[in-house]
Structure 1
Amino acid sequence: MGLTIGIDVGGTKIAAGVVDEHGAIIARTQRDTPADSVDATAAAICDAAAELIANHDVEAVGIGAAGFVSSDRSTVLFAPNLAWRDEPLGARLAEQLKIPVVVENDANSAAWGEFAFGAAKDVEHMVCITVGTGIGGGVVIDGELLRGAHGVAAELGHMRVVPGGHRCGCGARGCLEQYASGRALVREGKAQAESGSLAAAQMLSVCGITDPAELTGPMITEAAMKGDPCAVELLEDLGRWLGEGLASLATMFDPTLIVIGGGVSAAKDLLMKSALQAFERNLPAKSNRPHAAFSLAELGNDAGLIGAADLARRPAPAPVQSR
C-alpha cells in the first residue's frame, strides 16, 4: 500500500498528515478539536482528511484517539476527553471519505510509530511508555501490537502500584500515572513549595514565578536541566516510580527494548538514570534473566500520526470467537 493518512485526535487539536511507506510525513494539516460535540469532532476530522485526499493519492486513513477502541478498530467505546461513547467513528468516516478508515488508541498508535520507524525499528518485542500529563503506552510482541480480547489492553498508566494510593482519573486508587506522570511531578512540586521549603522557593525563582499554583511540569523539567536541586530531586523521584513500574511490565512482557517518550522525557539523563537504577533494583530474578535495554523515543509528537497511518495499511484482526 502506498500513501495513507494518519490523524492524531487530541483534546484541543486534530493533527493530520500524509505518510509514505517509510514513515515520512509529506503533507500536513490541522484543525481545532470541538471536544464537546460528537458530530462537530467527526466533521473536523473528515474535513482535515478530505483536504489531504484532494491533493494526494491516498489509500486509507488511520485515526489515533484517546480512549477505548473496539477490537475491530472501528468504534470508540469511551473517550475520556471527548464526547465519544460507543461512537462508530471508523464506519462513519469511511462512508463520507469513500476509503477505508481504521481507528486505534492514540498511545497504541504512538507505540507502533516508534516500533515501525523510530527507536524500536530493529526489535520485535518492545514496551513504549509515554510520560506526559498522564501516562500512556503500548506493547508489541512478536511484531504484533498487543490489543487484548476487546481492544483495550496495555493501559500501562493504570497498573496499580500503591494499593489505596492517590485517586486516579480512571476511578481507581494508586495507578502508576499518579506517581510517575507530569501531573504527579507538579503535585509534588506544589506540595513542597506550599510547605515553605526554601529549596522549593528557590525552584520557583528559577522558574520565574512566585505562586506555586502557577507551577507546571515543563517548568520543573527546565529547572532540573538548569541544575536546580529541588527540581532535580523531583525528577529523580518520578524516575524511581517509573523504573519500578517498568520492572513489573518487563516481568509481564519480557521486551527487548523499553522506549520512553512524552514531554517529561525531555529531561533525558535526569529521568533515565534514576528510572534505570530503579528498574535494575526491582526486576525479579535480576541476576538470572536478560535485561531490557532502554531508549528515548525518536519521533516526538509525530509518533501517533505516523503510527496511525501505518496501522491503516494493516488489516483489522479477526473477531475473537467465543468457545
Structure 2
Amino acid sequence: MLSVGIDIGGTKIAGGVVDDAGTIVEQARVATPTDPDALADAVGAMALDLVSRHEVVAVGVAAAGFIDATRSIMIHAPNIDWRNVPLRAEFERRIGRPVTLENDANAAGWGEYRFGAGAGSSNMVMLTLGTGVGGAVVTDGELLLGGNGTAGELGHLRYERGGHACGCGQRGCLEQYASGRALQREAREIAAQEGLGAGLAAAQDAEGVIPGDAMAQLVLDRDPGALEAVHRVAVALGEACGQFQAVLDPDLYVIGGGVADLGEALLVPARVAYERSLPGFSGRQVARFEIATLGNDAGLIGVADLARIRG
C-alpha cells in the first residue's frame, strides 16, 4: 500500500509517495511560502500532484509546532503564523480526502522507529540536534502524545537553572546546550583561547561562524579545540538522557540532526556522561545509542506511515 507524506520545513516542503516498507517511490520539493494560506495551498497542490500518479490509501502532513490531542488543530507554530488553526481541515479541504496531521519531530522519530535506526526497538527516544533539539518518544510500540497532544518536547527539559535564555521563554533548556547552536557557541568561546582554540579560530569565517564541514574536518583531524567543543555538547546530551532514563526507561536513544553527523565523536562521550548520570542502582541495564539513518527523509516517511496506520 502506498501513502503520501509531506514534511513542512522552514525553507522547503518535502513530499513523497512511500510504500509500506518505508521506501520512497517518488519525491517532490518546493520552497516554503511565507504566507500561511499560500503554504497550505502549496501543500495541497503537492499532495494532489503525487496522488494523481499513484494509488494512495492515505495522506499525512508533518509540521513544526504544538498540535492538539485530536491531531486537528495547530495550537502554535514557531516559524509560521498558525495560532489555533484547524489545520487538518484546511488540508483536507484542499486535498479532498482525510489527512493525518503530526508534529514534525514525532513524525521523524516514528520514521526512525519503524524503518531506520530504531527498527527492532519497542521503547525508543529520538533526539534531533539541529538549530534546536527536537524530541520524540515511542513507548511500548506507541508514539507518546500526552494528555494535551504535546508530549516529547525533550529539548525544553530544564538542563541548567538560570542558564542561557531559550526561544521558548525559559532559561537553561537542553537545546541551549546540546544543539548545533550550542556547538557553535562553545566553539567560538574556545576559538578565543590561545593554543587550544587555534584550529577553530583559523576555521572561522568573517561572521565568526565555523562551517559544519570545517568543524567535521577538525574533529576528524583530532583538533583539541574542536574535540573539546563536541565534548561539552555530548556531556549535556548524555546527562539529559540519564534523566530521561529515570522517567521513560527506553532501550534505545536515536540521535539525528546535523550535529549527529559527528558520529562516534559525539556518541562516545555522550554514552559516558549518560552512564554516569543514571539514577538508581549500580549495574542497571543501559540503553543503546545509535545515529539516525533516514536523514532528512525521516519526517515524510514517518508521517506517511502514521497516515497509513491511523487510516
State the TM-score, normalized to the length of structure 2: 0.96
Give the aligned residue type for 2:297: D
Determine the structure 1 residue equivalent to 2:15: 16
Give the distance between the partners of 1:184 and 1:220, measured in 2 at CA: 13
In the alignment, structure 2 segments of 5+ residues that lack a partner are none
Aligned counterparts, 1:270-281, within 5 A: 270-281=265-276
- 3-state SS, counterpart of residue 312 of structure 1: helix
Is this contact kept in 1: 2:130–2:179, CA < 8 A? yes
Q: Residues 127-179 of structure 1: CA distance to partner in whole angstroms, max 9, x if unpaired?
A: 11111111001000011000001110110100001011000010100000001
Determine the structure 2 residue equivalent to 1:127: 125
Aligned counterparts, 1:114-263, within 5 A: 114-193=112-191, 195-205=192-202, 207=203, 209=204, 211=206, 213-263=208-258
Determine the structure 2 residue equivalent to 1:321: none
Q: Report how far residue 304 of structure 1 moved.
A: 0.7
Is this contact kept in 2: 1:59–1:100, CA < 8 A? no
Determine the structure 1 residue equivalent to 2:24: 25
Give the aligned residue type for 2:4: I
Give the aligned residue type for 1:15: A
Give the distance between the partners of 1:189 and 1:178, measured in 2 at CA: 14
Q: Report how far residue 96 of structure 1 moved.
A: 2.0
Determine the structure 1 residue equivalent to 2:294: 299
- 3-state SS, counterpart of residue 126 of structure 2: strand
Give the distance between the partners of 2:283 and 2:195, measured in 1 at CA: 45
Determine the structure 2 residue equivalent to 1:320: none
Give the aligned residue type for 1:238: V
Q: Residues 49-98 of structure 1: CA distance to partner in whole angstroms, max 9, x if unpaired?
A: 11101111112211111110111112211111112111212111112212
The 1:241/1:112 distance shift into structure 2, 3 A limit, reads same
Q: Report how far residue 121 of structure 1 moved.
A: 1.4
Q: Report how far residue 218 of structure 1 moved.
A: 4.6
Determine the structure 2 residue equivalent to 1:49: 47
Provide the alpha-carbon RMSD of the alignment. 1.5
Is this contact kept in 2: 1:257–1:295, CA < 8 A? yes
Determine the structure 2 residue equivalent to 1:309: 304
Is this contact kept in 1: 2:116–2:294, CA < 8 A? yes
- 3-state SS, counterpart of residue 286 of structure 2: coil
Is this contact kept in 1: 2:188–2:200, CA < 8 A? no
Give the distance between the partners of 2:162 and 2:211, measured in 1 at CA: 26
Determine the structure 2 residue equivalent to 1:84: 82
Give the distance between the partners of 2:201 and 2:218, measured in 1 at CA: 9
Give the distance between the partners of 2:255 and 2:8, measured in 1 at CA: 21
Is this contact kept in 2: 1:244–1:278, CA < 8 A? yes
Determine the structure 2 residue equivalent to 1:39: 37
Q: What percent identity do the matched residue pairs reach?
A: 47
Q: Residues 253-309 of structure 1: CA distance to partner in whole angstroms, max 9, x if unpaired?
A: 011111111111111111000000000111012514221111111111111110010
Q: Report how far residue 314 of structure 1 moved.
A: 2.5
The 1:228/1:26 distance shift into structure 2, 3 A limit, reads same
Determine the structure 2 residue equivalent to 1:109: 107
State the TM-score, normalized to the length of structure 1: 0.92
Give the distance between the partners of 1:218 and 1:159, measured in 2 at CA: 29
